[in-house]
Amino acid sequence: MEIVILAVVIAVVALGAISGLVVSSRRNKKLPPPPPTTETRPSDTSAPAEPQVGEDAETPRDEQRRTIEEVELPGAGATVAEPTTVEPEAPAPQVEVPEPTAGRLVRLRARLSRSQSTLGKGLLTLLSRDNLDEDTWEEIEDTLLSADIGVTPTQELVERLRERVRVLGTRTPEELRTLLREELLRVIGTDLDRSVATDNVLGADGQEIPGVVMVVGVNGTGKTTTTGKLARVLVADGKSVVLGAADTFRAAAVDQLQTWGERVGARTVRGPEAGDPASVAYDAVKEGIAESADVVLIDTAGRLHTKTGLMDELGKVKRVVEKHGPVGEVLLVLDATTGQNGLVQARVFAEVVDITGVVLTKLDGTAKGGIIVAVQRELGVPVKLIGLGEGADDLAPFEPEAFVDALLD
């Protein structure tokens, strides 16, 4: 009996297992495949994941409402903008204090005497000979001509030296030096007004305007550099200066002039490249009036003096500036190393604008200091400034006595 019951139980269990397998098989056939697993999207308040290489780095639109520039105030329901970081401003260029101009030529005397030794010492050596025959006087004449004094001034100087030596009789070195110094000063001229006219004047409408100085000359003579150095000379003398960069045909000249101005705290008025130079010059004077400046320095274009258009343009600049008031000074910059060739330039510029003074540059690199005499004779105006090197303060007011003493050292 027990055996029969056990067999029945086993049969029931087996039948149940078979039924379960059949039902499970049918379900697997009817149920659709499970949907693919999806990533859970972060809530709006979670920080966006950083973009990986190749992914779009843009912030989703719904997250653009909250950026790092806005911070929500707890419990206030309002937002405030976080302050933007401000980059520190670049420090202003340090303004230099130029070297005083009083006695500047004396301080540069050693440099001048080294470059001009051929003229002064050569003359003293020749005059010290025991026998001053015709050959010696011809050598003296050649020495003066090689220094670019010019034919007429040379002849005058030789004749006076002949006469004074004959009257003097004995010739000690000190007597010869005194004699030569006096004759060189006479031919250079000590009674000329060599100051640069920078005083304020009355304008066309009766208003006081700054002194206006135009700087003219051929490119390559150091014209723009001279304008910048002249600004230093005027600032050293207590003047306030505005610079006009009217050489608009050379972008480098405009930038160079502005750099010179920044070094001494002088404002530079400039225009577009290849713009109208007369317009820039006019605006510079206008700015000088507005700022109550003492002086306006105008650097003009300086292409070859044989270009008729440039000469006409230069005259136009002067006429346009004079709508404000008179131009007090027109300085012609000449390269001393060009010698007599510089006189050709001087003649052409003098025909276009009324030259009132001359600036001789590069006088430290030549023994042709006699060009001072020649150019004064040619133009009938004095040499007012001389350049004796590349340094910022190597432009000096011309002092005849200091110059001649340097020649004879």
- Domain limits of the chain? 104-188, 201-399
Report the alpha-carbon distance of residue 12 to residue 70 in Å, rounded: 73
pLDDT for 96-155, tens place per residue? 877 777 777 777 677 676 666 677 888 888 988 888 899 999 999 998 888 888 899 999
- DSSP 8-state code for residue 207: -
CATH top class, domain 201-399: alpha beta
Q: pLDDT tier at 10 (50, 70, 90 boundaries)? A: low
Residue 265, pLDDT > 60, answer yes
Share of the chain residues as helix, strand and coil, in percent rounded to the nearest 5: 45, 10, 40
Whether 367 contacts 119, CB under 8 Å: yes
pLDDT, position 226: 93
Taking residues 257-281, what's their average pLDDT? Answer: 89
CATH number of this structure's domain 104-188: 1.20.120.140
Q: pLDDT tier at 40 (50, 70, 90 boundaries)? A: very low
pLDDT, position 13: 52
Where is pLDDT greater, at 161 or 96?
161
Taking residues 5-11, what's their average pLDDT? Answer: 54
Report the alpha-carbon distance of residue 269 to residue 86 in Å, rounded: 29
List the one residue out of 214, 273, 231, 215 whose CA is nearest residue 249.
273
Q: Is 131 helix (H, G, I), strand (E, B) or coil?
A: coil
Whether 234 contacts 220, CB under 8 Å: no
pLDDT, position 314: 84
Sign of CA dihedral 313, 315, 317, 320: negative
What is the percentage of the chain residues whose pLDDT exceeds 70? 71
* The most confident of 82-96, 219-233, 342-356, by mean pLDDT: 219-233
- Lowest-pLDDT range of 63-77, 235-249, 343-357, 370-384: 63-77
List the one residue out of 231, 242, 230 whose CA is nearest residue 281.
242
The two structure tokens encoding residue 211: 């002194």
pTM: 0.73
Report the alpha-carbon distance of residue 268 to residue 284 in Å, rounded: 8
Residue 30, pLDDT > 60, answer no
